[in-house]
Structures are given as C-alpha cells and as structure tokens.
C-alpha cells in the first residue's frame, strides 16, 4: 500500500495517499497507519501541501493518533 512507499521515502507518497483517501469508494484500512507514518508526513509538511491534507484525513479517522500529533 502507499503508506509503505511513504516510509521508504517516496516523494509523491503524500499526494498519492491523499488522492486515494478522497476518491476511494471502499473503507480504507486506517488501522495500518502508525506513528512512523505520521512522523514521515510531518517531515513532508513544509514541502508538500498534500502531506497536510493526508494528515488531516488520517486524524479524522484515527482519533487515537490526535494526541500524538499535538
């Protein structure tokens, strides 16, 4: 899945993640998102607007990770 590309450093992973989140008609497996994925998205925030959007979508669906992001 695209989250694995994120952890491997694929530059376009945040955009791909976000686009999948908004166009996918099936329920996404949100439980596979880890703190490591959050950290990688946070590293991308200043260079990639989609990292912010992807992070926002994740936190909508994974409320247990909200405290980690604060």
Residue closest to 11 by CA, chosen among 56, 55, 43:
43
| Per-residue pLDDT reduced to its tens digit, 43-65 | 988 888 999 999 999 999 999 99
Q: Which residues contact 40 (CB under 8 A, 6 or more apart)?
A: 6, 7, 9, 13
Q: Output the pLDDT for position 4.
A: 79
| Per-residue pLDDT reduced to its tens digit, 5-18 | 787 877 788 888 89
């Amino acid at each position: 899945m695209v989250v694995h590309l994120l952890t491997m450093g694929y530059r376009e992973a945040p955009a791909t993640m976000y686009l999948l989140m908004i166009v996918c008609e099936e329920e996404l497996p949100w439980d596979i998102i880890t703190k490591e994925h959050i950290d990688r998205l946070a590293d991308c925030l200043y260079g990639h607007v989609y990292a912010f959007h992807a992070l926002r979508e994740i936190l909508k669906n994974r409320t247990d990770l909200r405290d980690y992001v604060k």
